[in-house]
Chains A and B, each alone.
Chain A
Amino acid sequence: MLGLDFSQVDWNEIGTATLDTLRMLGASALFSFIIGLPIGVLLYMAARSTSGFVRFGYSILSFIVNILRSVPFIILIVAMIPITKSIVGVSYGVLGTIPPLVVGAAPFFARLVETALNEVDKGVIEAAHAMGSSTSQIVWRVLLPEARPGLLAGMTITIVTLVSYTAMSGQVGGGGLGDLAIKYGYYRYETEIMILAVVLMIVLVQLLQMAGDRLVRHFTRK
């Protein structure tokens, strides 16, 4: 079939690469969410502040987020090598790719959080103010629960974006399916492995997207 021969494929290598991808994804998604969520909330709150000083802070934070989002990921990896080393000790392998993945994805996720929070009905927030809620009560009891479907959708988009980022991190010997596809398929013309790696990544993205959509639907009450 198409002259492809899958008998020579080293399934062990495929398995290791898949696990590496999952590990990179899991860790980088987790940290991106943990860091991106508060930044997103901060962006949302700062934009609405009555204090000119805080709104100035918003423009600065927003500017930093935009910069991080516009740097091509491949350049971010290289530029971050010293920082990555100081955080996780190495700048290669699965561990070495996680800091650049997080720095690449957290600002992206923060923007998605801000967008999701913007969608929350202003009237509900006003009602919470009228009931005597403090700012933190409004964040925890109104904004985040009301924005939950939007936040879950944002998480799904972020994690899917991270799948393609992990593929690029193969450039620094990051390992994983993307690395495999480039190393074997692109440099060594072993088309079979490249196809397999790409197919696995497609399946991964499909599964993640489906799971995400499910969660969003489950929590949508409108």
Chain B
Amino acid sequence: MIELKQLTKQYGKAGRMTTALSGLNLSIEKGEIFGVIGHSGAGKSTLIRCMNLLERPTSGEVWVGGVNLTSLGKKQLQAERRKIGMIFQHFNLLSSATVYDNIAFPLRLIKTSKADIERKVSELLNLVGLAEHRDKYPSQLSGGQKQRVGIARALASDPEVLLCDEATSALDPQTTDSILRLLLDINKKFNLTIVLITHEMHVIQSICDRVAVIHQGGIVEQGPVTEVFLKPKHEVTREFIRQEMDNGDALRLALQGQDGSSSQAVQITFLGSKTYESILSHTVHETGVNFAILQGTISTIKETPYGQLIVRFEGSKGAIEDTIRRLLDQGLDVEVIH
């Protein structure tokens, strides 16, 4: 659906160039929710703004829905942009227009008939749950309501892609969750491809199918969220996940003072339906190993349940090795950490 080829973006004049993106390649499938996570200044904002050419890349190509946007003239680009919805961190609604008129804006650009506008806008107002606010002005709405208007406006022209530029960063946690749920709903309902950029791992974990980690203008790691989240490879990714799990200090404390001869700390990862099975309990029962839980999480990534336990096995060396082997055989992921 979206294909970025050798995308490079540089700012400034010769001699004092800063490079925001350097030769970045990315491919996003139709119907998926794709997240890009990175620190501020990593280039993620530039990246998403290149997808509808709000920023023109210095070199490289941007393909959306089989069309090379970078090759288009002004008029054709305007037409293509109508198929790409976008929502923003600060909502960017017209302060002089009502909720209704804001949502009708993209429809009026293409001279839609009054009756069609009325029908479409009413439908969207219901979808985002703002039917009773149709005649209010943005200043009379809360942040979450404003973003709902933004989403309705972005959907008005029946886009194939929705770009979310830090769409929840200005919202409180509860409102963030409700907006994320709405995005997930419309992704399913309309099979809409959603690209979102964020600096919060929580956002990625809640709704994304795949994630790319951007650092210093390039993608350092990408893949299905379950994979990247549970087995991060790059240091930047680990850092984001550590923030989310907040397990650094507590774990160090738990791992202190072990002799290592008769005990072994391991990280066990459960994924999908295995999360709720009593695999660990059965296995230790069979091998006669005891365990203490040092740390654990059971949660979901998008709608996939997962569990991650750090446990200390106690028993003979052979029995511990046997336990680990059995767990691996049953499809769990086990990593020895101490």
Q: What 0/1 readout, one digit per residue, does chain B (62-91) give for beta carbons within 8 Å of chain A?
A: 000000000000010111111010101011
Q: Give Cα distance in the complex from A141 to B110, angstroms.
A: 13
B291 interface hit (Cβ, 8 Å):
no
| B96 & A126 in contact (Cβ 8 Å cutoff) | no
- Given A141-B108, A145-B97, A221-B138, the answer on whether A131 and B157 have CB atoms closer than 8 Å is yes
- Given A131-B105, A131-B157, A221-B137, the answer on whether A124 and B81 have CB atoms closer than 8 Å is no
A219 interface hit (Cβ, 8 Å):
yes
| B95 & A133 in contact (Cβ 8 Å cutoff) | no
| B54 & A129 in contact (Cβ 8 Å cutoff) | yes
| A130 & B54 in contact (Cβ 8 Å cutoff) | yes
Q: Which residues of A contact B163 (CB under 8 A)?
A: 130
Q: Which secondary structure dominates chain B's binding surface?
A: mixed
Within B113-138, the residues touching A (CB, 8 Å) are 137-138
| A145 & B94 in contact (Cβ 8 Å cutoff) | yes
| B82 & A132 in contact (Cβ 8 Å cutoff) | yes
Tally A residues with Cβ within 8 Å of B: 21
Q: Give Cα distance in the complex from A115 to B82, angstroms.
A: 30
Contact among B75, B82, B105, B139 for A221, CB-based, below 8 A? B139
- Given A123-B88, A127-B88, A130-B52, the answer on whether A141 and B105 have CB atoms closer than 8 Å is yes
Q: Which residues of A contact B54 (CB under 8 A)?
A: 126, 129-130
Within B140-178, the residues touching A (CB, 8 Å) are 153, 157, 163
Q: Which residues of A contact B79 (CB under 8 A)?
A: 132
Q: Give Cα distance in the complex from A131 to B137, angstroms.
A: 20
Q: Give Cα distance in the complex from A128 to B82, angstroms.
A: 10
Q: Give Cα distance in the complex from A131 to B80, angstroms.
A: 9
- Given A141-B108, A222-B139, the answer on whether A148 and B81 have CB atoms closer than 8 Å is no
A134 interface hit (Cβ, 8 Å):
yes
Contact among A133, A145, A148, A222 for B78, CB-based, below 8 A? A133
Shortest distance between the CB of B226 and any CB in chain A (Å): 32
- Given A126-B54, A129-B54, A222-B139, the answer on whether A134 and B92 have CB atoms closer than 8 Å is no
Shortest distance between the CB of B166 and any CB in chain A (Å): 12
Shortest distance between the CB of B140 and any CB in chain A (Å): 9
Q: Which secondary structure dominates chain A's binding surface?
A: helix
Q: Which residues of A contact B75 (CB under 8 A)?
A: 134
B33 interface hit (Cβ, 8 Å):
no
| A222 & B157 in contact (Cβ 8 Å cutoff) | no
Instruction: Tell me the nearest residue of chain B to A123, going by C-beta.
Output: B92
- Given A137-B109, A221-B138, the answer on whether A130 and B81 have CB atoms closer than 8 Å is yes
Shortest distance between the CB of A220 and any CB in chain B (Å): 9
| A123 & B90 in contact (Cβ 8 Å cutoff) | yes
Q: Give Cα distance in the complex from A131 to B75, angstroms.
A: 13
- Given A130-B84, A131-B81, A132-B79, the answer on whether A222 and B95 have CB atoms closer than 8 Å is yes
Shortest distance between the CB of A198 and any CB in chain B (Å): 39
Q: Which residues of B contact A134 (CB under 8 A)?
A: 75, 78
| B109 & A133 in contact (Cβ 8 Å cutoff) | yes
Shortest distance between the CB of A121 and any CB in chain B (Å): 7
Shortest distance between the CB of A75 and any CB in chain B (Å): 40
Q: Give Cα distance in the complex from A132 to B82, angstroms.
A: 5
Shortest distance between the CB of A127 and any CB in chain B (Å): 4
A114 interface hit (Cβ, 8 Å):
no
A142 interface hit (Cβ, 8 Å):
yes
| B95 & A146 in contact (Cβ 8 Å cutoff) | yes
- Given A127-B88, A130-B86, A141-B105, the answer on whether A221 and B78 have CB atoms closer than 8 Å is no
Q: Which residues of A contact B84 (CB under 8 A)?
A: 130
| A121 & B106 in contact (Cβ 8 Å cutoff) | no
| B92 & A126 in contact (Cβ 8 Å cutoff) | yes
* 16 A-B interface contacts by CB (under 8 A): A124-B94, A128-B105, A129-B81, A131-B82, A131-B106, A131-B157, A132-B79, A132-B80, A132-B106, A132-B109, A133-B109, A141-B105, A142-B94, A146-B95, A221-B96, A222-B139
Closest 4 CB pairs of A and B: A132-B81, A127-B92, A123-B92, A132-B82
Contact surface of A with B, Cβ cutoff 8 Å: 121, 123-124, 126-134, 137, 141-142, 145-146, 148, 219, 221-222
Contact surface of B with A, Cβ cutoff 8 Å: 52, 54, 75, 77-82, 84, 86, 88, 90-97, 105-106, 108-109, 137-139, 153, 157, 163
